[in-house]
Structure formats: C-alpha cells, structure tokens
Structure 1
C-alpha cells in the first residue's frame, strides 16, 4: 500500500478546503468542495462509475428529498410562521420568549431536521426581535444552539444522526435515541437558556411583549403541508408503538419522509416549484460524499491504520468528534468514522 493513496490525498485536500473555505479568497461552499473531490476520483479512475453509483445511499437521499419537500412547503406556505406564532403567543416576557424559542425549535428540529428549522427559523427570530425590541444576537444564538442540541434527540434530527440510524445497525432508532438522549437533550436545552440569560442579560430585559399573528401566504399549500407534517408525526408514533407492542411494522425512515411528502408532490399546484427550490446542494453534497468515502474505504488505508487501536472507545470517539468537528463538517466526519466503528464490530447491544 502506498504511504498515502491518491483517494486519501483527495479526501485530505477536501477536508483542508472545508476548513479554510472562509479564509481563502475564492469562496467555495461545502457541497462544491465535496463534489470536486468526487469528480477528481472519478475522472482519475480511482473508482469505477458503477461502483460510484452503487455507493450512493438511496435511502438517505430519498429521506432528505422527502423532508426537504415538506420543509420548503411549510415555509413557502407560511404555515410554519403561523404555527410558530401559536407556540410563542403565550410568552409574555422576553425571558419566557427566549425559553420558548429554545424548546420549540429544539424539539421541532428533532422532527423536521435542524437544517430546515434553522432556515425557516432565522427570519422568524429576526421578526420577533424587531417586533418586541429585543436584540437579535442572543435570539439567533438561541436558535443556533436549540436546533443543534435538540436535533440530537431523534434519528431524523440531523444528517449525521440519519447516517448512524440507517447504517449503524440500530434496530429501533426512535426508541434507542429517545432512551439515551431524551434527558441529556432536555438538560442541555435548559442549560442553553441559562447561559444566554447569563451572558446576554443586558440584551434581554424582562419587559412585557405583545404578539401579532402571522398570516398564511398560500392556504392550499398550507393545508397540504399541515397534512404532511401530521403524517410524519403519525408514522413516527406508529413505528414506535409497533416496536413497543412487538407488531414490528416495517416502517423505514425513508418511507416516513417519502410517504409524508406525497400529498404535496401529488396534489399541490406548486409541485414543480417546490421540487426545484428544495436544498439540492445538500443532496449533491451527500451523493458526492458517498462516492468519495467509498473510494477511500476501498483503499483500506484507514482500516490498516487503526490496527491495534480501539476505535470503539468512548473517550476516543468523544475526543475525535469534538476536535475534528471544529474543522470539518460533522457529516463527512461521521461518514468516515462510522464504517470504522462497524468494521471494529460496534453496533447496538
């Protein structure tokens, strides 16, 4: 084996570009960098086209597609802003509003994915800040922390959880995630609230606030989006109940997202607009990442490098995850490390 096989060099170059993308003059998005890496290994013949196509995890791609359709429709119809008002209208002070933002968006991100909630939540938070004369900075930080922490709660809360749930040999992902992560997530959401209150107390005053309802922009799409959202919740509950009662219906994460998106795709007059405007960049990122990681995996470079190292060690996983996720996106980190764990025999016990 070469000291550094070419695919590994490409992967390192991708990670370096991701780390430095904010400092170099040529601005590159993460999806563009990952796509460049995948194209490089393809055109240099490091991976056959058939193998590249097979490496793309269709379950992940279809799940993301379905959730993006639902998320965009909720935003475009105005229904998400509308239900945001429903949740926040009971908050009578800026402190209670902050608390509501953290827990509503935190728990919500476990269902609609943190990317979706971050995108639609940002304008909502800015609107709330303007209306109630509250500094936007602590509110946006609250949103950022909330969707990051809250998304940990479920297997569909963020892309890295999805990769672990689908590829990590977890038989009952919703129950498993809730069992181990519900209490820590709630504790950390509360800690987020306390930290923001402490560090931004001069920006968040205890004055009373008055809410005004946000109108729905497209009622037909809102009805379909609402139905799709309820369908997601229903199928998640059905999956949990079926497992708990030993009925064990075969409801995959992919089917939850796809089936729930069908009402919008089939019945909305704006279906083509919705499909056109979903987050295709993230889908390209994932497809490219699967190709590049498969190519790297086939070199057996990392498998041989970890001989004698217990990659399943919890302290090691924590250290690697905390350090590397500061420099590269956590999704490729999980995509790289998860196969090493599975190769070492890790899995749900």
Structure 2
C-alpha cells in the first residue's frame, strides 16, 4: 500500500477506536465530532477529493433521516406528546398499568417515528409527572428506553441504523415489518414483564396533585393533533408505493412546516444535526477505507471463510459485542462496508438484532443515553447498574426470541 493508503487506514482505525471510547478523554468531544473531524482530515490531507467523499455519502439515508426528524418535531409542536403524557397520568394510581402504558406508547411511537426524538420528548414529561406524584421515575424511564429500542425494531424508520439498512438494501417497507413485528412485540412484552418483576414493590405509592403541577407543557385541542396524525398515516401509505422513501418523507415534512404557530427555524432547531454529522463522517471514513484494494480483499476473504456474520448466532454475538462497544450505528455502517452484498434476509436480521442489542447496556444505544441525560437534568439518576439490571435480561430474552423466529421462519440459519 502507498503511504497515503496507510494514512487512510490509520484514520479509519482511530475513528472506530474513538467510537469505542465514546469521545476524547478530558475534552467535551463526542462520537459525532470524531467522525466529522476524521472526514475533514481526509479531505485536508488530500486522501479524498470532495467528489470521492460525496460518492461515499448515502444521500437517501441522510435525507430520509432529516425528513423523519422534521415529522417527529411536529408531534411535539402540536402538543401530542404532552397530551399523551396527560393520558398516562390517569394510570398513576395503578403503577403496573402505567408501566404497561409507557411500554406500549414508547414502542408504538418508535415504530413510526425516529426513536431518538420520541425518547427526547417524553423523558422530561414523564419525570415531571412522576416526581409530582411521588413515584420513583426509574422503572418507567427504563421501560421507556427499552421500549423505544424494541418498538423501533418493527420498522425501517424506527431508528437511524434501520433507516440506513433499509436504504442500503432497498428493503420493502411493509415486507420488513411483516417479519420484524413479531420479535418487536415480543421484546415489548418481555420489557414489561422483567421491569414489573424487578420493580413491582419498589416504585412507591402515587399521591394526588393539582392539574397545574402535573402538566408541564401546553396541551392544544384535538384539531392540532389531527395534522401530525394525518401526515403520519399518509407517509406510511406512501412508503407502500414505488416512490423513493426519502422524497415522500421530505414532501410531508415540507408541508408540515407550513404553519401559523411554529416558525420554520424552530423545525430546523429540532433536527439532531449531531446525529447527521455522525452519519456523514462515518460514510466518508468507512467508504475511503473500504475503497482500498487490500482492505476490500481482506473483507472478501473473511466473508468467504465464514468469519463474518452470516447466521443468527454470529449476527447476535457481533451485535451484542460491537453494538455495545462502538455503538449500533457505527457497527451497522462498518458491517455494510465489509459486506456490501448482504442478502435481504441477512439485512433484516441485522436490523432486528442490532436494534435489540442496544438494550443491553446504558451505552448500547443513543436512546438510552438520551433518557439518562434528560432524566439527570430533571434530578433523576438512572445509573449504569440500574440499566444493566433490567437491560441484560431483556436483551438476552428478546434476542433469543428474535433468533428463534428468524430461524423458524426460514429467513436465516442458526
């Protein structure tokens, strides 16, 4: 290899080591900054031309993610999240029913919206309401995080890695859901049962509060909720057509941004640009490394020898280890780079397994970190041990169920 090829390979390795570290020690620099800085470095030293870097970007995946974030923002601006939180309030005196409602709500919303946005919107509302009632928010926040991950496995728009997998493989939207819905629903049920068993006598007793104290955000009328609901139904219908998913989502997002109440800049500010930077940076760095002939040759040899994930067990093991080490988005991007010709069945298995594996540890998914950080700002500490105590059994049981389903259905071998 040339000296420049070694530099590209070195940047690639250091980038994924940064993904494993979660940032730069001693500095407030996260995974997104590392990926973006690495891409800029490759451009600066001439290892990649702007045209080459642009060729590595999956514009469809980036645009679809952007559009879905804008659609998700409409639910918050319309007061839908606050209204739903108000409905959860009615179960406060029956914590077991409240727990079930949180699991169902988090799971269903995350199947049709980006789960990061759902977790970001609902966590502070839940914390406010539960603290006002005198209930321990931790089991319900655990349920929210685990349910958001589990529910998002049911669709190709539920989380960032599934968006990437669906775009990369051209998977059929509803065909995927027909396979993934069973393990996703099973994971939601497992989440409820595990947390109920662990926390049933530890979440406290709810007491009554005034309506003003229980409601942390404005709730608008039913006409306001109609706009995001109709938009979501139309969007799901468009996903069944032959139109590119990113164009359908962008058109719905643009129409939603026509508003008398919400300024367009507020929609723009609701976008998680940090996540988009992570995607773009990893596209460039991974694409540059995989374009090197020696790296491509090594990847092909590993695939030929069966040393890369091909079945349920190897896919589950890789998802658990790599997903919780470098993050599920970087893991998926890396695997797509070394196995560019994955079969549709393997892509389905990757989407399901990489998503469910994110429930293992607090660091396994961006959703988990969003819930923990947002709860901390509300005065609630959701620690690593608290999360692992529920996350480990939920993940192992969920992935076992998913693996059995994929094998029995004939989609993947063991």
* TM tier relative to shorter chain: 0.7 to 0.9
Matching of residue 175 in structure 1 with residue 175 in structure 2: yes
Instruction: State the match for 2:233 in structure 1.
Output: 233
**TM-score of the pair, normalised by structure 1:** 0.86
Instruction: State the match for 1:262 in structure 2.
Output: 254
Q: Distance in 2 between matches of 1:331 and 1:96?
A: 33
Deviations 1:250-281 (A, max 9, x none): 23321332122122323345112321342111
Q: Distance in 1 between matches of 2:210 and 2:62?
A: 39
Q: Distance in 2 between matches of 1:64 and 1:338?
A: 18
Instruction: Assess if the C-alpha contact under 8 Å between 2:133 and 2:206 holds in 1.
Output: no
RMSD over aligned Cα atoms: 2.8
Unpaired runs of at least 5, structure 1: 241-248
* Alignment of structure 1 residues 1-349 onto 2, 5 Å: 1=1, 5-21=6-22, 24-86=25-87, 89=90, 93-170=94-171, 172-176=172-176, 178-205=177-204, 212=211, 214=215, 217=218, 226-237=226-237, 239-240=239-240, 249-268=241-260, 269-306=262-299, 307=301, 308-310=304-306, 311-314=308-311, 315-343=313-341, 345-348=342-345
Number of aligned residue pairs:
337
SS at match of 1:261: helix
Instruction: Assess if the C-alpha contact under 8 Å between 2:69 and 2:117 holds in 1.
Output: yes
| Structure 2 CA distance for partners of 1:209 and 1:263, relative to 1, 3 Å | farther
| Structure 2 CA distance for partners of 1:57 and 1:224, relative to 1, 3 Å | farther
Instruction: Assess if the C-alpha contact under 8 Å between 1:67 and 1:257 holds in 2.
Output: yes
Instruction: Assess if the C-alpha contact under 8 Å between 1:11 and 1:292 holds in 2.
Output: yes
Instruction: Assess if the C-alpha contact under 8 Å between 2:15 and 2:34 holds in 1.
Output: yes
SS at match of 2:258: helix
SS at match of 1:325: helix
Q: Per-residue deviation at 1:166? A: 0.7
Instruction: Assess if the C-alpha contact under 8 Å between 1:113 and 1:156 holds in 2.
Output: yes
| Structure 2 CA distance for partners of 1:118 and 1:187, relative to 1, 3 Å | same
Unpaired runs of at least 5, structure 2: 346-410
| Higher RCO (C-alpha 8 Å, min separation 6) | 1
Deviations 1:126-176 (A, max 9, x none): 023113221111111111111111111100000100111111132x12222
